[in-house]
Amino acid sequence: MGGSVKDVQSKQELDDLVRTGAPVILHFWASWCEASKHMDKVFSHLAIDFPLANFLRVEAEEQAEISEAYSISAVPFFVFAKDGKTFDTLEGADPSSLANKVAKVAGFIHPGEPAAPASLGMAAGSTVLEAVKDIAKDNGSSHVGNQGKTGTNDALNKRLQQLINSNTVMIFIKGTPEEPRCGFSRKVVDILKEEKINFGSFDILSDNEVREGLKKYSNWPTFPQLYCKGELLGGCDIVIAMHESGELKDVFRDHGIQSTESEMVKEAGTGKGGISESTGLSATLNSRLKSIVNSSPVMVFIKGKPDEPKCGFSHKAVEILKQEKVDFGSFDILSDEEVRQGLKVYSNWSSYPQIYVKGELIGGSDILLEMQKSGELRKVLAEKGIIQKESLEDRLKKLVTSSPVMLFMKGTPDAPKCGFSSKVVNALKEEGVPFGSFDILSDEEVRQGLKVFSNWPTFPQLYYKGELIGGCDIILELKDNGELKSTLTE
């Protein structure tokens, strides 16, 4: 790149560059976002400091396909890729963290000379300091960057619950409805206004405790967040998709929330689809839906067809089922409005896709993804006789080989729940070793079974290509001897 920043024009262009294995740093930005502008100055100067890395700029809203591929829901956002894989990410305006992460992924400028632009006074050094001041000024706070992650305590949980339930429809945004301070927040506000729904709001920029606490409370890392009667509906992308499909209006109606034009809502409730709010579904439609739901042991109702899904959520559901090698039937709800509207009442589930196993609703794409990650999906499919039940030994073999470097720990890399797990995570990150992880606190069967499988009684346990390397003491010893990275890359 020669120290320059290039604007990405297509996903294909980006994919080709990432596949080369060279260091790639992506800056997802938006022209309306002041924080993006500050961070872009730092980004441009870092490109000068690290000329062997590829610095790419992606306009998040213009390059929707790329943004969706990297699950971008807020800007500024940075993705660090190396050896053809995502190495690290950074959300928000944190100039110092950006400089440090770039140094880690891009390596040294000169052999044996550590890259630390913020401290060595290189091209990015003064810009980092200026950006910190500018961002602090914009936020009306002297504290910028990572504020330290702590678990939400009872008092904070109670406060968050009160905020979430303070209005029937509640949004947590950057800024206010009158003056949103990010484009994603503005979009959600505009949609609620267009739906003619009364809502409350909270400016997360005004209270960092609420901002950080809500991410953990809701298990949703970005903003805006939209709640309906205390339940999280999702962020900007999900709200847009639900609005465009008409499902957002249905969700509000199902929760008894009428728009300011209530007569219009009542009229809509008697339209096509055989739905009557007073009597429910007709016997004919009920029978038809039951027949379709049970037409295949695994049945998915999606927008489009499995080979050509017409929304990202449908695409995600199809991909998960294919990854699990499950045979399934499908129904395109865009082809039949009666089924589309009727199934929402039949299942008491207001959005799509909907996945059924032996006639029972499992949920939508997010629930399916959660079940896949936790291993619960395969358990359910095995219990229902859809797939052969997996032995514990087979399951453990798959888990230890699910990533070239695999760590079994207490908690997650972002929130370790014991000091030994935390030390191993830090050692791997400091060495720049990408790794997968499994929280043994989430599955007692895996926790106890792995002790026997590996003949190693404690955790954490680190595996490389399916072979046990050891626990905390061995990992730290390898790191101190300068052997950890070579051991995990042989």
Q: How many CB atoms sit inside 10 A of residue 35's CB?
A: 24
Of the chain, the percentage scoring pLDDT greater than 70 comes to 84
What is the reported pLDDT for 390? 63
Q: Is the pLDDT of residue 164 over 80?
A: yes
List, for residues 357-381, the tens digit of each pLDDT value: 998 888 888 888 888 887 788 888 8
Crossing angle (nearest 10°) for helices 472-480 and 419-430: 30
Give 210 or 132, the one with higher predicted confidence: 210
Residue finishing a domain among 255, 277, 307: 255
182 shares its domain with 91 = no
Q: Are 98 and 42 in contact (CB under 8 A)?
A: yes
What is the reported pLDDT for 318? 92
CB-based contacts of 33: which residues, under 8 Å, 6+ apart? Answer: 75, 76, 182, 183
What is the reported pLDDT for 261? 54
Of the chain, the percentage scoring pLDDT greater than 90 comes to 30
The distance from CA 248 to its chain's CA centroid, rounded to whole angstroms, is 21
Q: Is residue 37 part of a domain?
A: yes
List, for residues 310-347, the tens digit of each pLDDT value: 887 888 889 999 988 889 999 999 999 999 989 988 88
Question: Which of 38-47, 90-99, 220-229, 454-463 shows the lowest mean pLDDT across its residues?
Answer: 90-99
Report pTM.
0.33
What is the reported pLDDT for 141? 38
What is the reported pLDDT for 56? 94
Alpha-carbon distance of 274 to 283, in angstroms, equals 10
Alpha-carbon distance of 416 to 425, in angstroms, equals 8
CB-based contacts of 228: which residues, under 8 Å, 6+ apart? Answer: 168, 169, 251, 252, 255, 257
Q: Are 191 and 185 in contact (CB under 8 A)?
A: no
* Average pLDDT of the residues of the chain: 80
Read off the pLDDT band of 192 (50, 70, 90). very high
Residue linked to tokens 């002041």: 34
Tell me the mean pLDDT in the region 183-194.
Answer: 88
Quote the number of domains for the chain.
Answer: 4
Cα four-point dihedral sign 267, 269, 275, 276: negative
Q: Is the pLDDT of residue 140 over 60?
A: no
What is the reported pLDDT for 111? 38
What is the reported pLDDT for 428? 94
Alpha-carbon distance of 371 to 361, in angstroms, equals 13
In 3D space, the residue among 302, 304, 318, 315 whose CA is nearest the CA of residue 68 turns out to be 315
Residue finishing a domain among 207, 231, 255: 255
407 shares its domain with 371 = no
Q: Is the pLDDT of residue 220 over 90?
A: no
What is the reported pLDDT for 477? 93
CATH code for the domain in which residue 471 is found: 3.40.30.10
Amino acid type, 379: K
416 shares its domain with 379 = no
DSSP annotation of 206 reads G
Q: Is residue 13 part of a domain?
A: yes
Q: Is residue 268 part of a domain?
A: no
Burial class (CB in 10 A: 0-12, 13-18, 19+), 225: buried
Q: Is residue 348 part of a domain?
A: yes
- Collapsing DSSP to helix, strand or coil, 82 comes out as strand
Read off the pLDDT band of 3 (50, 70, 90). low
Q: Is residue 448 part of a domain?
A: yes
Domain that holds residue 240: 155-255
List, for residues 376-421, the tens digit of each pLDDT value: 888 888 878 887 656 788 889 989 998 999 999 998 998 888 889 9
In 3D space, the residue among 186, 211, 142, 176 whose CA is nearest the CA of residue 32 turns out to be 186
369 shares its domain with 425 = no
441 shares its domain with 397 = yes
What is the reported pLDDT for 478? 93
Q: How many CB atoms sit inside 10 A of residue 281's CB?
A: 19
174 shares its domain with 243 = yes
448 shares its domain with 470 = yes
SS (H, E, C) 353-381: CEEEECCEEEECHHHHHHHHHHCHHHHHH
What is the reported pLDDT for 375? 78
What is the reported pLDDT for 293? 93
What is the reported pLDDT for 283? 85
List, for residues 266-296, the tens digit of each pLDDT value: 333 333 333 333 336 788 888 899 999 999 9
Q: 294-318 in b/e burial notation, b at 16+ Cβ within 10 A?
A: eebbbbbbbbbebeebebebbbbbb
List, for residues 437-480, the tens digit of each pLDDT value: 999 998 888 999 999 999 998 999 999 999 999 999 999 999 99
Alpha-carbon distance of 424 to 419, in angstroms, equals 9
What is the reported pLDDT for 292? 94
DSSP annotation of 388 reads P
Read off the pLDDT band of 191 (50, 70, 90). very high
